[in-house]
Structures are given as structure tokens and as C-alpha cells.
Structure 1
């Protein structure tokens, strides 16, 4: 698992780079505020129910949550499932909102 800051993530998004961004929060959190990632709640990954992410096993997968803790867990779980390049967003949505507003 690697890490990325919200500033570096925003630069990559703003540049138009194609990134695989996954949000592991719950649906209600996602509905309240999101930055466009694919919603795959941590519970699904914990249940080894991550088929929708399988095509990304060999690619970089950037994972975020509210604060960075659930996404770190998701990265470790996905690493154990054979994912080659998981990246945790440091500070999660809270850091994003601090840096760029809601």
C-alpha cells in the first residue's frame, strides 16, 4: 500500500488523468458528499465481495474514506487478495474538505 495526499490526488484529477478512485464509505456518507469515486463499502471488501474491482488488480487503485482508516484497511485487504498497487488517500474526505472546501 502506498499513500497519496489530497493535494496530489486533486492535481491528478484536475489534469484529466484517468484514475481508479474507490470510496469505501457507506452509501449515506457517499450521498452526503463525494468526489466521484466508485462506491464500494468496506464491508463488501471485508466479505471478499469485490468482484467489481477484479479488473483493476494490475492497475493503481486509489482508495479513500472519511479519515483514512477504513481506506487503509481496504488497501491491506485488497493487497492480500492480490491487488498490485493500492494507494490510500491520507486524511480522506475530511482532509479533502479542509483543503478544498465542501
Structure 2
């Protein structure tokens, strides 16, 4: 499979992962202003234009900056999301290019999440 193919995660998939996976690293790539208005519980914020730099950091540097352990290249549950899906896909592609083989995008983004969570 070509590395340019972005694997997507559905709302249901993400909900399940958040409920059961200790290994999930959910990365919110929106702007700080967007995140301040609301975020998916358990996500960490790495703006899309800094994803490459963040994932290239040394593990101790990453942990100091983001408060979580840097995911290994073969991290099974690495999911990016933005507001509507486009920046999440960009971040996912960047991560895949750096060797994060299982990086995926939650294509519905925070927009879909917040709509479904209100029900």
C-alpha cells in the first residue's frame, strides 16, 4: 500500500479506542484558538505546522513539551484530528513520511465529534 494513502478512523472507532486503548495518542492539530473552544478529552495539542518538528524531537524533549511519552514509530494507535479532516490528513501524511506506519486521521474531526457527543 502506498504511503500516501491516509487511513481514516471513524467516530465509532475513535470512541472505542478512547474507551479501551491505553496506547492511544490522539493529537489535535488545530490552532490554539480552536482548541480553547473545546477539545476531545484525552487529546494532546500539536498544531499542524509543528507536527513534523514535534515528531522529530528527542523523546525527553517531546515529553517535556507535551507531557506525554513520544510515540514509537510503530505506535499502534496514533490518531490525528482537526476541525473538519483536512489538516488531520496533512498531519497524518507527515507522520507517515517520518516512519509512523500506523498513523491515522479521524476524518470527521472535532466538528463531527462535538455534534455526536451532544446527543
**TM-score interval, smaller chain:** 0.7 to 0.9
Q: Which has the larger radius of gyration?
A: 2
Structure 2 unaligned segments of length 5 or more: list them.
Answer: 1-5, 63-68
Higher relative CO (Cα under 8 Å, sequence separation at least 6) belongs to 1
Dislocated runs of 4+, deviation >4 Å:
none
Measured in 2, the distance between the counterparts of 1:67 and 1:43 equals 16
Of 71-80 and 2-11, more deviation after overlay is shown by 2-11
Contact kept in structure 1, 2:25 and 2:71, CA below 8 Å: no
Equivalent of 2:21 in 17, 20, 24:
17
**What TM-score, normalized to structure 1?**
0.85
Measured in 2, the distance between the counterparts of 1:62 and 1:42 equals 13
Q: Report the 3-state secondary structure (helix = DSSP H, G, I; strand = E; otherwise coil) of the residue aligned with 2:103.
A: strand
Aligned Cα RMSD in Å?
A: 1.8
Whose strand proportion is higher, 1 or 2?
1
Partner of 2:83: 66
Partner of 2:72: 56
Measured in 2, the distance between the counterparts of 1:5 and 1:62 equals 11
Aligned residues: 99
Task: Quote how far apart the aligned CAs of 1:12 are.
Answer: 2.3
Measured in 1, the distance between the counterparts of 2:71 and 2:10 equals 25
